[in-house]
Chain A
Amino acid sequence: MTMTTKSVPKSKSPSHFQRFRDSYLWYSFKSDRTAQLCLAVFICLVVAAFAAPLIAPTDPYDLRQIDIMASELPPFWVDGADERYSLGTDAQGRDLWSIILYGTRVSLLIGFGAVILQALLGVTFGLMAGYLGGRVDAFFMRLADIQLSFSTLMVAIVVGAVVKATMGSSFYSQYAVLMLVLIIGLAEWPQYARTVRASVLAEKNKEYVDAARVMGLRSKRIMFRHVLPNTLSPIFVISTVQIANAIISEAALSFLGLGMPETHPSLGSLIKAGFDYIQSGSWWITLIPGAVLVVLVLSINLLGDWLRDVMNPRLYKG
């Protein structure tokens, strides 16, 4: 490392891009076909999902573009397909290709939103519990234990029922994305808090933290500027796993009818909607969104696996 930096001209530090090119992360990525493939698939899905209004031939949220007479049309490789609908249509006559694009967007939004919320809560609580210790630690960790004793599903059912009962069903469907982000985010923050706390406990006894304290820095600054950057690797690793988990949780909730409404379906609610027609031969309504979900989650999980291997301090220290 010293050798490579020495070859860089004096007084000019390597740029961030240069540093990334020299890093072990990039080296490992270049030599790992699975990671490359997964990243490519994942990026394709994300781009397609967020460019859905541009790519999709129809707007499934617009009722005027839906033709109920064209419902349950099969995809193009099956007899009786309509060339307007490449992947066929669902029971309401919506173009399956369009609705999958839009549904993937909803699933990804909920997945990322929930993980951001989890990370914000979990990292803050975990940092405070680990660094401040004592009663703060006991409080947050007992809170995490309590939280973990409720499953995500149970929290969702309770919150969904309470909100639907008090605010009405239409209110719930209007803010369904937000509600799901809140439910999945609140239910899973202990994962982050525990991981962060564990690495903070290891970091806070190192001498650079003592040096920062001797300098007179406030606890908040030491936590966020000194300790947090050194606990980032495990945070990255669990983030990938948690995004996949959140997407799966959302799909499960939607499948049970606790998630996204039919009018703004996610991948999960598409699978659920199609499930009623699988016996009547319209397998594509449920199987194609299901396949997309599997590919999406699998690519994220494999990326997470690769990242965990790369960032495992026992395999590579850096």
Chain B
Amino acid sequence: MNTQASAMAEHHIPAENVEEAQTLLQICDLKKRFSLSGDFLDQLRFKGGKLVRHQEHVHAINGVNLEIMRGEALCVVGESGCGKSTVARTVMGLITPSEGEIHYDGQRIDHLSSRQLLPYRKRMQMIFQNPYASLNPRMTIQQTLEEPLRLHHPTWNRQQIADKVEEVMGSVGIDPDWGKRFGHEFSGGQRQRIAIARALAVDPEFIVADEPISALDVSIQAQVLNLLMEAQHARNLTYLFITHDLAVVEHFGTRVAVMYLGTVCEIATTSTLFAKPRHPYTQALLSSIPRLEDDRPQHIRLKGEVPTPVNLPSGCVFHGRCPYANARCIQEIPPLKMQDDGTRVACHAVEEGRL
């Protein structure tokens, strides 16, 4: 799998990056369904005089393929409910996938037990969306930051742990004297810094950030974003960055994956995506960014609404709202196809040159 992964990786990366591009995380055909039908007894229904088992699922993600290269910041964008966070949580092992595989540094990790996963926990960490909920209200900052260190470095003595906590607090711009306070004594931005410090404490190489700045004040967002970028340079981090803020993507991302209804519709480098969006959904999404110079905005208006993820549309999930959809789009699910500039797009219209 390792060789296959790196072979695939070389395939998509523009030629000048080939020697340093190395796949850190690979997500293969990941699917996650959440049951809506309750337990077994609730699922039994009478239909036509017969007792049948009736199950309904929310298809949160349907066949996501992604690779994350070492050292990059892959941004995943999409509207609410498109499965961005589910991807992030599945990668971190908070949710077990229904189908598909996740490979970290060549090793499959999605089926490991929590004890087998422990060495990977030290290498991959997560930053959460809501800093008001992600710190345990009954623990001091010092305790919060010491806990991962005690777990992952059982041989360290008290002094080593204290030194590391102080170092990591310093690196995120928190006064080490604040350690004895509780989370509720801090502002949102400070709390998010503490949450970042907790993630950085074990010296991870890969960080999943699930909308880490969307719960913050606009004035604080830039600070935290810059902190994340500084940490990336200083510690050579790789990010999987979930967001719905396209301005952040433009500023932060190396590559962007656009998701719609649990599928990836386009993956491209940030500059390519913003300069030349291929997928009709990406085009609509980018056209929705408000711009200062616009006095007559050219928004692409999509018709209808996002279909329910309980009953997925056949074929391309976007066909009901796509202005370019034809009969093939209704029947056939488009795979992610490589374009000549390294972008990958899942669209029949792009493939056929209709667009």
Contact = CB atoms under 8 A, between A and B. Distances in A.
User: Do A and B truly interact?
Assistant: yes
B177 A230 contact: no
B195 A13 contact: no
Interface of A: 1-2, 5, 10-11, 13, 138, 206-208, 210-219, 226, 229-230, 318
Contact of A216 (B118, B133, B136, B137): B118
A207 B181 contact: no
A208 B136 contact: yes
B144 to A, nearest CB: 9
Interface stretch (B122-130, B226-234, B286-294, B315-323): B122-130
B113 to A, nearest CB: 11
Contacts of A215: 121, 125, 147-148, 151, 198, 202
B128 A1 contact: no
A258 B129 CA distance: 57
A146 to B, nearest CB: 18
A306 B244 CA distance: 46
B141 to A, nearest CB: 11
A1 B147 contact: no
Contact of B126 (A11, A13, A211): A211
26 contacts: A1-B184, A5-B185, A13-B140, A206-B134, A207-B130, A207-B133, A208-B134, A208-B135, A208-B136, A211-B134, A211-B198, A212-B147, A214-B121, A214-B126, A215-B147, A215-B148, A215-B198, A216-B117, A216-B122, A216-B148, A216-B151, A226-B136, A226-B139, A229-B136, A230-B137, A318-B184
Contact of B133 (A208, A214, A229, A318): A208
B121 A216 contact: yes
B180 interface: yes
A210 B128 contact: yes
A35 B140 CA distance: 30
- Majority-rule SS of A interface residues: helix
Contacts, number: 72
Interface of B: 39, 89, 92-94, 114, 117-118, 121-122, 125-126, 128-130, 133-140, 147-148, 151-152, 177, 180-181, 184-186, 195, 198, 202
A211 B121 contact: no
Contact of A11 (B94, B177, B184, B185): B177
Nearest to B121: A216
Tell me which of A210, A216, A219, A229 has the highest count of chain B C-beta atoms within 10 A of its own C-beta: A216
A5 B181 contact: yes
Given A207-B134, A216-B114, A229-B138, A2 B121 contact: no
Contacts of B93: 213-214
B205 to A, nearest CB: 15
Given A210-B128, A211-B198, A1 B94 contact: no
Contacts of A230: 136-138
Contact of A214 (B125, B130, B139, B152): B125
A13 B180 contact: yes
A206 B195 CA distance: 14
A211 B195 contact: yes
A125 to B, nearest CB: 20
Nearest to B131: A207
Nearest to B152: A216
Given A2-B185, A211-B126, A217 B147 contact: yes
Nearest to A211: B134
Contacts of B152: 216
B3 to A, nearest CB: 29
A29 B195 CA distance: 35
Contact of A218 (B89, B114, B184, B185): B114
Contact of B128 (A11, A13, A211, A219): A211
Contacts of B180: 13
A318 B182 CA distance: 11
Nearest to A6: B185
B94 A213 contact: yes
B129 A10 contact: no
Contacts of B181: 5, 13
A207 to B, nearest CB: 4
A216 B201 CA distance: 13
Nearest to A19: B182
Nearest to B137: A230
Nearest to A138: B39
A218 B113 CA distance: 11
B216 to A, nearest CB: 14
Contacts of A219: 114
B250 to A, nearest CB: 27
Contacts of B138: 229-230
Return the 7 tightest CB-CB contacts between A and B, nearest first. Answer: A216-B121, A13-B180, A207-B134, A229-B138, A207-B128, A207-B133, A208-B136
A229 B122 CA distance: 26
Contacts of B136: 208, 212, 226, 229-230
Nearest to B138: A229
A212 B137 CA distance: 13
Tell me which of A211, A219, A318 has the highest count of chain B C-beta atoms within 10 A of its own C-beta: A211
Contacts of A210: 89, 94, 126, 128, 134
A133 to B, nearest CB: 12
Nearest to A14: B180
